[in-house]
Amino acid sequence: MQHDLFAAPASGPERLPLADGAVVLPAYACGVADQLLAAIDSVVAQAPLRRMVTPGGQTMSAQMSNCGALGWVTDRAGYRYQATDPVSGRPWPAMPVAIARLATQAAALAGFADFFPDACLINRYQPGARMGLHQDRDEQDLSQPIVSVSLGLPMVFQFGGLKRSERPRRVPLNHGDVVVWGGPSRLRYHGVLTLKPGTHPATGDCRYNLTLRRAGR
Ligand code: MD3
Ligand code: FE
């Protein structure tokens, strides 16, 4: 066996730190994108995408569904996680293994060992859809990170501070990009600018985002 004295050091996938606790893994999910999209199709066949209503009475522009033991829902009564789909009354579909495995691996690469999500929110954006600046704080253990996976059309993510008044940075996210948010970045304000029309070979006219969380204990 010959050793290559000039071999590059092991580097693994590219990691771009955004801030303390926030890391972009560019294109990390590209190799499994088709598996993830097939998994999304099987989930939404059982728990159809729908537009939910905020406690303030606004209909959200992104369509949503969930898989895993807990699903994030909103209605006039508030934001919460629950074990059943309010449309069908049945438990949310199980989290497909391809989705859970990707999230655990991405979190580990970002420095968060032993991340085992129990909730996966599926957001589907069509042109014109957006998500305003907000914090994710409905989860029980805020020491657990969040992993997000972007699929399909590109969009611009808003990455803010711990106060709403802090002006967000704009971070373009493309098909296959994975972002891990935890530690001091866990409660940062964030949002998504209005999706522009386009066509992507993997998804057609839309963008999917998978948001993987540990919602319960
Ligand atoms: C930064 N979704 O569903 S995921 C959401 O692209 C949500 O659909 C967006 O925000 C989307 O709640 C963004 C990226 C994300 C998720 C959680 C974060 C970024 C975050 C928590 C803290 C800081
Ligand atoms: Fe969020």
Establish whether residue 72 lines the binding site of ligand 1, counting it when its CB lies within 6 angstroms of any ligand atom: no
Report pLDDT for 189. 98
pLDDT tens for 66-76 read 999 999 999 99
Instruction: Concatenate the DSSP letters of all residues of 35-51 into one string.
Output: HHHHHHHHHHHHS--B-
Which of the ligands is closest to the CA of residue 123? 1
How far, in Å, CA of 112 to CA of 135, rounded?
20
Residue among 191, 147, 146 at smallest CA distance from 166 = 191
> pLDDT value at position 1?
60
Give every residue of the chain whose pLDDT is below 50, as ranges.
none
- How far, in Å, from the CA of 186 to the mean position of ligand 1? 10
pTM for this model (two decimals): 0.96
Question: Over the stretch 14-34, which tens digit does the pLDDT of each residue have?
Answer: 999 999 999 999 999 999 999
pLDDT at 10: 83
Q: Which atom of ligand 1 is nearest to the CA of 173?
A: 6
Confidence (pLDDT) at 48 = 98
**139: Cβ below 6 Å to ligand 1?**
no
Predicted pLDDT at 5: 79
Give the per-residue pLDDT at 152.
98
Query: Among 24, 141, 146, which residue has the most ligand 1 atoms within 8 Å of its CB, making it the best to mutate?
Result: 146
CATH number of the domain at 14-213, out of 2.60.120.590, 3.40.1160.10, 1.10.150.110, 3.40.50.300? 2.60.120.590
pLDDT of residue 8: 82
